[in-house]
Structure 1
């Protein structure tokens, strides 16, 4: 019996022992992924001669910011793309995605989602949900999507028809993570197949990847297989739990130039934008990202295995391939969902005394329950859980700076939900 769990009920102690033995080889697999990705990141720091002066940042217009430009080059190298734009002024992954859409698409172009309807906040950007100004719809940019099959996979037969019948499709988007849906997140090998398919049946289309939650979870990224443009958040995986804000875009140089012109102004583009005082955090976060992401995934594997031992319906299962940070559990009723979420909050380093209350949030149609006792507000590389209060009352658990914290917090949540 471990010292940390000696006060737990004997039944729960036994379940933890079963889980620890069951998942040990899977955790070793994650360690190998971390080692591979950490090696690549370290080589980039050496190749690009990162030094103290790169960490200083710039002020004002941000001209001649050598640290910003070097970090762009390192992200482009890591993701094997022509260019990148890593910026503190990009306030979220959704902001980066929106910048990509508005940077590339023009009136009467069509944005087509190959992976079904996107998640709630992107629906607001498009204009198919909410009643907000400045949407793609307001700018006369069209939207369509191919519904997924019942098993959550791409309907290639329907997609072929959708892509071939509409010559106005300018961009095909692929959402890697499940969002607030029940489908599995797509592993990189599946995304590679999607990219090949789009290039065959819509060769004129720009292939865009929403990669949020996905970086460093595998040894390959979607851009390795020909994606043209990709977005991610720095207070998810790529910031390593250090970055306090920011997001990034990587892709073809002409597309990054367009995004930069939209993001700043035409003419200056990505060459403006002060970075003081963010660069030290961005560099250190990028360096830590492979390991921190691995710790979070190990925590997700433990959570899945323990909740399965409790008889819960989880996705992905503990032994399934991992391609993002998101772990789901279906509670079947709102009370248990809220109780478990509250226990995550109570076992967080920040605001542990706070009692989460379901409430409406901008960008979502249902009440949301959320636990996020994180050092950076909204950080989902840190342990958090959230979900809309709608059937089947699914809680989305993600992140964790250390495996030890996730293990303790999830165990305590199981204790408070199922044993008290």
Structure 2
């Protein structure tokens, strides 16, 4: 690792010059996704009255109904359900999986061990929690092969007559591996359908929306799920999630969001409709701001000798930027500096803690307007070797640049660089 002489202006200018083509490409992706969203709004004649709040059962809430149709079009799907009542990405994924799986079915996770918070959803037989395993659904996890790629031989060996769902995690989660591009998801879809043509292909789309010009449901994936406090909420949705895909599968998922016989036909939107619409409108731009921030961060940290994943010039298919450090002190200082750069709660100093749903102490920086809103600038890391920080989000490119500057300033002050 090289030492930094404190010349921020020169370092930032050099990083932006090096990454200029990649930054410009990100702007073009945002432009095309923005047009796609606007065209969906226009097709469904979105009007001011669609933003009205509903109460009680929410019968005949036309704003909610049109919102589902707009999401379906944006994601190239037959149907979608978008609700503020889905409290997180994990909740949304759980609703989708419980909706399509039945006792005796098998689910095969083809991209390795899923994100930590899903482990309790998968569960263990007889755990008494109502997990998938408790309901008699068998889960098989196929570890990734060298280089973070799907181990197709192992996947083929895992398939049985009971295999009902193939599950894909698009983002890297807490792993030092590439995230999967839309092109790679298209190849997975073809190969998985060859292995078992009647299986359902499900993808966790968290962190990936609008980072490319296409979504998984446009390339053969049957069902996707994501969180509104990540990419598609555009920094405005206060809560919620979405499920999109084949109509009959979305309907089954909707029966888990509410109950069978009701599904997506009811549900007061509790005054959230306008912010969800407007957040979706802004999402392509704000996602591109976050992606540009990640490209810049990678270019700067690589210049200083740190290992990053993805590298500044790698293809981008999600928001997450991983940076590997030599010590836990550097890791903790990185996350604390990101918090210090926030507009909200900048005075708070995060510390590692035993966070529910995680298997190691975790430190999180989240000076956000929406609690846990990871389209906003945030960073987190499990305190374990190798010492890897995962930074994501940034509603503005300038904010991410400020955070990188704060990290380097703190490192210099503490003798960590």
The normalised TM-score by structure 2 is 0.96
User: What is the CA deviation profile of residues 88-133 of structure 1, one whole-angstrom value per residue up to 9, with x for unaligned ones?
Assistant: 0011111110001111111110011110111111111101599671
How big is the shift at 1:418? 3.5
Residues 1:330 and 2:324 aligned together:
yes
> Which residues in structure 2 correspond to 1:222-261 (within 5 Å)?
222-261=216-255
**Which of 104, 123, 128 matches 1:127?**
123
Contact 1:312–1:331, Cα closer than 8 Å, also in 2:
yes
Distance 2:135 2:312 in 1: 44
User: What is the CA deviation profile of residues 344-395 of structure 1, one whole-angstrom value per residue up to 9, with x for unaligned ones?
Assistant: 1011011000011100111001000100000000000000000100001110
- Residue 162 of structure 1 aligns with which residue? 158
**Which of 111, 133, 152 matches 1:137?**
133
Distance 1:148 1:125 in 2: 21
How big is the shift at 1:265? 1.4
Question: RMSD across aligned C-alpha pairs, in angstroms?
Answer: 1.5
> Which residues in structure 2 correspond to 1:269-284 (within 5 Å)?
269-284=263-278
- Residue 193 of structure 1 aligns with which residue? 187
**Cα–Cα, structure 1 residues 130 and 398, in superposed 2: closer, same or farther, change >3 Å?**
farther
Contact 2:128–2:134, Cα closer than 8 Å, also in 1:
no
**Which of 148, 168, 179 matches 1:152?**
148
Distance 2:319 2:309 in 1: 12
How big is the shift at 1:415? 1.6
Residues 1:345 and 2:339 aligned together:
yes
Gap regions ≥5 residues in structure 1: 1-7
- Residue 68 of structure 2 aligns with which residue? 72
User: What is the CA deviation profile of residues 170-200 of structure 1, one whole-angstrom value per residue up to 9, with x for unaligned ones?
Assistant: 1100100001111110011001100101110
Moved more, 128-137 or 30-39: 128-137
- Residue 51 of structure 2 aligns with which residue? 55
Distance 1:89 1:129 in 2: 28
**Which of 345, 361, 366 matches 1:367?**
361
Residues 1:92 and 2:85 aligned together:
no
**Cα–Cα, structure 1 residues 417 and 131, in superposed 2: closer, same or farther, change >3 Å?**
farther
- Residue 30 of structure 2 aligns with which residue? 34
- Residue 99 of structure 2 aligns with which residue? 103
User: What is the CA deviation profile of residues 255-310 of structure 1, one whole-angstrom value per residue up to 9, with x for unaligned ones?
Assistant: 11111112111111111111021001000000000000000000000010111111
What is the number of equivalent residue pairs in this alignment? 411
**Which of 257, 264, 272 matches 2:258?**
264
Distance 1:200 1:281 in 2: 41
Gap regions ≥5 residues in structure 2: none
Moved more, 37-46 or 369-378: 37-46
**Structure 1: which 4+ aligned runs deviate by more than 4 Å?**
128-132
